[in-house]
Amino acid sequence: MSTQLVWFRNDLRLADHAALIAAAARGPVAALFVLDDETPGNWRLGAAQRWWLHHSLISLGRSIEQRGGRLLLRRGRAGPIVKAVAAELGAHVHTLIHHEPWAAVQVNEAGPVTQHLGVTLAPPESVLSGTGGRYRIFTPWWRKLLDQMPPPRPLPVPDLRWADVSRIASDELDQWQLLPTTPDWSGGFADWQPGEAGAAARLADFAHRAARYDAARNLPSVEGTSRLSPHLALGEVSPNTAWHVIADAVGEGVAEPYLRELGWRDFAANIIGQFPDHGDAPNREAFARFPFVDDPAGFGAWCKGQTGYPIVDAGMRQLWATGWMHNRVRMITASFLVKHQLIDWRHGERWFWDTLVDADYGSNAQGWQWVMGSGVDSSPFNRIFAPVGQSAKFDAAAYIRRWVPELAKLPDAAIHAPWEAGVALIRAGVKLGRDYPQPIVGHEAARARALAAWAQVKAGRSDDAMQ
């Protein structure tokens, strides 16, 4: 039987891995991962996800070694490297189907490759309307996806016979320098456990909390979300596994709000299949002439969590410290950047790409275009989140105290808008402008400016950015 080469990409697991299962049934297996910073172009992995990748590859390598194999590591343009390694081994290549626009380029350059399902719940191109077209709106797409659900139950790690790869060159992981050096900003990442075992532990933990997901997911002060997103982003757990573990734990009816979030990942893959430049260009043509403001200082304040709006600053500081941000707060911070500050959504998208451990091309672009209003299925531009109202509505006081400790002594009623706190600010010993910033923009003035910019776009004008 001939050697079978399994080309791992963002699917760093052994369980429920269709490419590995197919390869194991056909012959001895070799395993390869290629760090490709060339084919994705400007979408090479960001710094936070490179940290995650380092630890995930250690985990995958150990799992393979415990079963008698060896994970080959190479760095460079993936397609030609995979083709060369396959030729050295006399092997046929198996990989999972990925949906980023550069993934198909990699496969085409790799030569004969058998691709398998396993990154999404269903192939995005299989979810079609009655006329055979692709959906661009989530709700009807989700209903149609449900016709194919539940997905197949996950399969265990197959019995593996390993090919002899002792004479095949392999990089040392440390040579790739994926971890930060000086300064080391990853100290707050300690609570994460990258790798397949970490994903399983996270999923098991969430299964005990999943019944409360719908009630708690919008509350940043409580542990209401799954925190599975980084494990899903690098494929340490399959979406099929996540679906069945949670549905089995609480029943599909109770699990439906979370299962829809798994569906949102599939929908993002569906959208980038139709709009490969989704991360760089608005889906709606009118937004190509939006009068964004060039404001490096304002963008810097947003990145650092120094806008003077506690809920925004808490989110941005959580992101920097941990590589992750609560989803409700992601929407609030994104809305603040593009609508209060009128800064181009692509600047925020790139910041998230570099700082999120769960960065995903489709989901990240879909989220930002949804907030901007420029996506084919998005919130209207004139839906402008009021950060103070959102903070109070979703009971973010404890969240703010954790991430904006300057305000920790303020009572709940005052912490959402400290510039209105009056005597409570004095009692807390906080001086705005010294201990914590004044708001960099007023909400009502920012809202009026944003609506004026939108009116300008709808009128078909392309004036200079509004000042």
What is the Cβ-side half-sphere exposure of residue 425, based on CA atoms within 13 angstroms? 16
- State the pLDDT at residue 461: 58
Give CATH superfamily name and number for 285-458.
Answer: DNA Cyclobutane Dipyrimidine Photolyase, subunit A, domain 3 (1.10.579.10)
Work out whether strand 71-75 and strand 113-116 pair parallel, antiparallel, or are unpaired: unpaired
CATH of 1-119 among 3.30.450.20, 3.30.1300.10, 3.40.50.620, 2.40.160.40: 3.40.50.620
Q: What is the pLDDT of residue 376?
A: 93
If one looks up domain 120-152+196-273 in CATH, what number appears?
A: 1.25.40.80
Phi first, then psi: what are they for 458, rounded to 5°? -65, -30
The three state secondary structure string of the chain is: CCCEEEEECCCCCCCCCHHHHHHHCCCCEEEEEEECCCCCHHHCCCHHHHHHHHHHHHHHHHHHHHCCCCEEEEECCHHHHHHHHHHHHCCEEEEECCCCHHHHHHHHHHCCEEEECCCCCCCHHHCECCCCCECCCHHHHHHHHHCCCCCCCCCCCCCCCECCCCCCCCCCHHHHCCCCCCCCCHHHHCCCCCCHHHHHHHHHHHHHHHHHHHHHCCCCCCCCCCCCHHHHHCCCCCHHHHHHHHHHHHCHHHHHHHHHHHHHHHHHHHHHHHCCCCCCCCCCHHHHHCCCCCCHHHHHHHHHCCCCCHHHHHHHHHHHHHCCCCHHHHHHHHHHHHHHCCCCHHHHHHHHHHHCCCCCHHHHHHHHHHHHCCCCCCCCCCCCCCHHHHHHHCCCHHHHHHHCHHHCCCCHHHHCCHHHCCHHHHHCCCCECCCECCCCCCHHHHHHHHHHHHHHHHCCCCCCCCC
Q: Is the pTM of this model over 0.75?
A: yes
Nearest of 257, 265, 262 to residue 217 by alpha carbon: 257
| Structure token digits, residue 307 | 């806008």
Q: How confident is the model at residue 182, as a pLDDT? A: 81
Give the pLDDT score at 351: 98
| Domain assignments of the chain as residue spans, ordered by start | 1-119, 120-152+196-273, 285-458
pLDDT value of residue 3: 98
Please give the Cα distance from 155 to 232 (Å, whole number).
17
The pLDDT score that the predictor gives to residue 195 is: 98
CA distance 351 to 361: 13
Tens-digit pLDDT profile for the chain (467 aa)? Answer: 799 999 999 999 999 999 999 999 999 999 999 999 999 999 999 999 999 999 999 999 999 999 999 999 999 999 999 999 999 999 999 999 999 999 999 999 999 999 999 999 999 999 999 999 999 999 999 999 999 999 999 999 999 999 999 999 999 999 999 999 888 999 999 999 999 999 999 999 999 999 999 999 999 999 999 999 999 999 999 999 999 999 999 999 999 999 999 999 999 999 999 999 999 999 999 999 999 999 999 999 999 999 999 999 999 999 999 999 999 999 999 999 999 999 999 999 999 999 999 999 999 999 999 999 999 999 999 999 999 999 999 999 999 999 999 999 999 999 999 999 999 999 999 999 999 999 999 999 999 999 999 999 988 854 443 33
Average pLDDT, the chain: 96
